[in-house]
Structure 1
Amino acid sequence: MDDILAEVLAAIEPHRGEGKVADYIPALACVDPSKFGIAFADAGGAVHGAGDFEAAFSIQSISKVFTLSLVLEKVGVAIWDKVGREPSGSAFNSIVQLEREDGRPRNPLINAGAIAVTDQLIGAGDADAAIGALLALLRARSGDAAISVDEEVAASEAATGSRNRSLAWFMKTYGILDNEVETVLGAYFRQCAVAMSCRQLARAALFLAFDGRDPASGAEVVAWHNARRINSVMMLCGHYDNSGEFAYRIGLPGKSGVGGGILAVAPGHGTLAVWSPGLNASGTSAVGALALEKLVDLTGWSVFAPRP
């Protein structure tokens, strides 16, 4: 794996800096677009990495995978009364489908759907407890208690989050949100502002590659059927209106974030995290997607037709 990652690193070298950083979030606008890191967590819990894989970055929408994991365990199938499971075919912050579909988000990985999931994570509790539960999951699964929220990024998102406020208020009018809008959004902005490295992220998500269990410790993180459902939603919806292209080119469940990270799951093998801040037009890391495509070509991993 170290040799494979080194080959991937060499392959993307001519493309470093491609794409456009998410400058609509001021705290992300100054991130160096030439940064690149990649990590793979294997069935024994070991993590292999190359490039800037130890550097922390804002995981943004990748956090939605972990909040969905928590909520599926907390409320079960009831979450699907609030959120659908279909691809959106629209931008991650689109309000059009909400208006057409009575305020019910198309899936839990677009912004509106993730806000509804965060509302369910808060439940009858408070926002701090919800973020505490998310951090506890990430710290336990990565084995690193230092993982935290980047409060500067959270404040930057809160100050520029007018579109997310529109989505939340629209859902509130249809009864999708149970808690107050600003309470939910306060948690949502902090959730997206969690900072992690590729090493930490790959290790934290390892349970998704092994039917909900951490393969190193044997601990059940989520029920096996929930792990499979999360992977299926990631495959169909993890990259917004770029999800079909990602499935076509890479063939693994994945979730991108506008901080430039991508999490990908290779069932039965392990998990991959890649970071390169420049984004394509759909908000997925441009160089990160190239790196994963190269890695899949080298390993033969795909949920569609894995090579022996």
Structure 2
Amino acid sequence: MNYQEIFQEISNELKGFDEIGQVATYIPALAKGNPNKFGMYLVTEEGHEYAHGDTEEPFSIQSISKVLSLVYAFKLVGTDLWKRVGVEPSGSPFNSLVQLEYEQGIPRNPLINAGAIVICDILISQLENPYDDFIRFVRELSGNPNIQYREETAASEKECGYKNNAHINLMKSFGNIDNDVEQVLDFYFYLCSIEMSCKDLAQTFMFLARGGKNPLTNKRVLTAQETKRINSIMLLCGFYDEAGEFAFKVGLPGKSGVGGGIVAIYPDQYSIAVWSPGLNSKGNSSKGIKALEIFTTITQSNVFGPMPIFDELEYE
């Protein structure tokens, strides 16, 4: 399949796309983003790579880091993880406090803010040097030794992190946070500040398309069974209260971030990352979701089986 030609076809299709969305402004460091940026990068199971647009420019991955912290915590504590965080779709905004209080401090899943904060608490308890150990883990997955936290973004998130403060204190009151709340929040903000490119993201998530094995090192990151669990959570929870819509339109496990990035995987086939900073009302990249919808329609690649071929492709 000629993915390069497909990328060009998608780009042509999106030229008239007028739902470009708005960059995230509630985090001051992200308000500077250019909504006209757009990139797509794909890595196949065989190691072939395809790029279109702004694919090597680093951007703030934000909540995409939640998948990687989840994987690391899962490696460290195994199934005990699920005693402290659930695996159900939230059906609520990623920063909802109502649901968290109703469920007595147990976050609905690890990919909403409260769930990711619990994961950070687990990592702080398990790791001697959590900041260094985590960034080393990400660098090894990506093959890029230069990936780093961005101090400006972390500080910016800390300045306006009132709801995250509310989340962690509420969970602390229910006994679901073990460490100092300021320490856990600081680590959480730093994880969200990591900057990567589409190329980095596509390569980093390739282990989830290969049954848990990192193709760059041939080392096993997760077992096949654990990989299935992570992919399932991404499919059900990776796009907050738009997860069902993404599964319906795109049909791949994936994760978004308010920096405009989206990464998705097709098991045994490929990992794909897109970036467009303009967000829809649910906090997901408008153009990125549309690009992936068109991509899986053209390639007929999704986890629910091949789609029927029509004389004229429809994207609605």
TM tier relative to shorter chain: over 0.9
Contact 1:60 1:257 in 2 (8 A): yes
Report how many aligned residue pairs link the two structures.
306
Residue 81 of structure 1: aligned partner? 83
Is the 8 Å Cα contact of residues 10 and 294 (structure 2) preserved in structure 1?
yes
Deviation at 1:150, TM superposition (A): 1.1
Q: Which residue of 2 aligns with 1:269?
A: 269
* 2:312 corresponds to: none
How many Å separate the matches in 1 of 2:222 and 2:126? 22
Contact in 1 for aligned 2:76/2:126 (Cα 8 Å): no
Q: What amino acid is aligned across from residue 186 of structure 1 in structure 2? A: D
- Normalising by structure 1, we get a TM-score of 0.96
Question: What percent identity do the matched residue pairs reach?
Answer: 47
Cα separation, 1, equivalents of 2:18 and 2:145? 31
CA contact (8 A) 1:21 1:31 kept: yes
Partner of 2:10: 8
Determine the C-alpha separation between the residues in 2 that align with 1:213 and 1:21: 35
Q: What is the alpha-carbon distance in structure 1 between the residues aligned to residue 133 and residue 41 of structure 2?
A: 25
The 8 Å contact of residues 95 and 163 in structure 2, kept in 1 or not, is answered as yes
1:133 is displaced (CA, Å) by 2.3
Partner of 1:156: 156
Matching residue's letter, 1:21? V
Q: CA deviation at 1:217?
A: 4.2
Structure 1 unaligned spans of 5+? none
| Whole-angstrom CA distance in 2 between matches of 1:118 and 1:12 | 38
Give the 3-state SS of the residue equivalent to 1:39 in structure 2.
Answer: strand
Task: Report the equivalent of 1:97.
Answer: 99
Mapping of residues 177-216 of structure 1, within 5 Å: 177-215=177-215
Shift of 1:6: 1.7
The separation in 2 between residues aligned to 1:106 and 1:260, in whole angstroms, is 24
In 2 relative to 1, CA 102–198 (structure 1 residues): closer, same or farther, beyond 3 Å? same
- 1:20 corresponds in structure 2 to 22
Contact 1:47 1:203 in 2 (8 A): no
Judge which range, 111-120 or 137-146, deviates more: 137-146
Where 2:195 maps in the other structure, the secondary structure is strand
Gaps of 5+ in 2: 309-316
Q: Which residue of 2 aligns with 1:69?
A: 71
1:124, 1:7 → 2: CA distance?
47
Aligned to 1:233: 233
* Cα distance, 1:121 vs structure 2: 1.1
2:37 aligned residue:
35
RMSD: 1.4
Given that 1:17 and 1:34 are in contact with CA atoms closer than 8 Å, whether structure 2 keeps it comes out as no
* CA distance in structure 1 between the aligned counterparts of 2:19 and 2:141, rounded to whole angstroms: 31
Q: CA deviation at 1:190?
A: 0.3
The one-letter code of the counterpart of 2:178 is D
Contact 1:16–1:34 (8 Å) recurs in 2: no
The superposition leaves residues 178-224 of structure 1 with CA deviations (integer Å, 9 ceiling, x where unpaired) of: 11111000000000000000000100110001110124543211111
Structure 2 counterpart SS, 1:123: helix
Q: Secondary structure at the match of 1:203?
A: helix
What's the CA shift string for 1:95-138, capped at 9, x where partnerless?
01111011100000000000001111111546xx2222221122
